[in-house]
Structure 1
Amino acid sequence: MKKVWVWKKIKERPENGEISNAMKHTLILIFLLVAQICTYAQGNQIEAKAAYLLAEESFATGDYAATLEYLNTATESLGSTNSKLLYLQIQAELEIYMTDRSYYDQVIKTISDFQNSADVDSFTEEKVMEVAKTKMLLIKEKEQDIKNKEEADRKKIQQDLNFHSYAFKSWPFGVTFDELKITHKDRRFFQKKTKDRLEKNTGLTLYYPNEVSLYWDSSTIPKNTYFNDIFGILTKNNIVKGYLEVIYWVDHNTENTSHEKSLADLDTMVANISAYVGFEPEYENLDNKYYKGGIYSWSKKGKTIKLHHTRYVNGVPCMRVVQEIIVE
């Protein structure tokens, strides 16, 4: 019985060279699957190539954002990137970086990916070296940008301090006018009789010597009397808020200085103050038929520095500049 059973089992096996139906189905499915994978892979490669060509065209026309989009499409189609895609990506990102420094980290990452890519050897040593040099230059440029920003920040802080401390030497703000009379009784201003008037534009009271005639804010002042000295004190509720001083005076009748030279001197004063405090002034033109002039004003956080300049159209051919500082 046992031998019969063995013989029957052997007879049930397929004869040499025959394949069972199940095996046939399996082989057919494997063949179809491989064919489908090959077709899909071939299709992805075509899409990736097309996307890369479009990326090259976009780069040539200067559309770097589109270049990166097409390169991303190519990468997605392939399932991974390669050195060829990364090289073009570096070129596009460098162009964007030229106008947008926030792209720095992205460019450095792409360069590192290129250098570490498996097929980087497909590029010539010259091209690989070019990318390496670019990376080094970018890093050095970034370090310099950081230093420049730190220096600019320090300069800005110093300029803010300069503006805050900008004042007339030995003439304090915030004290009462009565206290100032006592502490500065020996100064020329308090050795003369003074009068006062309300300044409509600021609401401050201006005290000035009788010998000074104020036709407008730049004043008529006896030469050599108040030159480089205080001739006006501004108060509010008896608290000193500001001062006026003549800092430039040229009589073109007696001094060998032209109007053009005086105006150039004024430009230098304006430029120096702007550089010292860190910002440009506003300008109010006050030209009329009698005078040519105006006011430069630097204002910030309750403090104002002014330069009033005047030169006569008729009468005495002179030019003067009055500096005024007001602290609220």
Structure 2
Amino acid sequence: MNFKEFRLKELLKQIKKDSKVLNENEKVTILNKRYILKQLVGTGGLCDVYKADDIYDLHFNKESKIVAKIPNENLKSYKDIDSLLYSEYTFLKKLNHKNIVKVLDFGIDKKSNMPYIILEYIEGKLLKDIPFFEMSNKFKLNILKTLVSLVEYIHSNNIIHADINPSNIIIDKNNNLTLIDFGISKSINTQENIELDYTKVKAYNPKYCAPELLDNQLPSIQSDNFSVASICFEIFTTNCIEKANEKIILNNFEKIPFLLKKWFRDNLSYKKYDRTVNKSDIYNKIVKFFYFN
């Protein structure tokens, strides 16, 4: 047995030993003797996200740049919990975009029967933690342009994200945007779905979701479009749509670039089918904005 084989064997022994102790306390910190959960880095309505180490990375003295997503207490009683996480895994495997988080693995822990997915770790800040009033117009327009491009790409793959909000967007040190958390996403072709009872699992962020979702309608292309417009309206005006009445919204349209006003009006409409996202149209308007300013 060479040194590497010996070291891997010792790591597995230690993990087995640790697993027994943790299981006695009904707490899982090691998944399938491979992924070691470290600090909690994110929590949502359905799942918790932990920075993690892969023992194979440790074996080869590599840094693990991964996170593990596991169900939280709100979801543990849900009967299709494994199907729900597997659904997110399959959606993310289908998508290949530089602004969408990469998924690496799916599994069900043999000791705890807990499903999990392993994702790349994205270094940065959540959009919700960045003061909008400090952003330059260029940065704001880049967020709009990127989100419009993203939803068009996601929808072209027959997927609806269903929960686009500033808590699910990471901005890195170079101001690049990454969309995360496809946990309640659905297929446009509902026959392919693992159906989630959206009325029981309150996973939406009411500040940014379309009004029809609060009336228990299913997510749609149009509800994703509303979420993008809602986020960008707040970025440009520092006013949240949820808390703004019609007068406040109209007054704050003065802060929206003129060429984009109609796009915002259409996509913030309570009439679902008024909403449309057109990447080339937005790109052209942004180019014109910089040309004339």
- Give TM-score scaled by structure 1 length: 0.19
Larger radius of gyration between Structure 1 and Structure 2: 1
Q: Specify which structure has the higher proportion of helix.
A: 1
- Give TM-score scaled by structure 2 length: 0.20
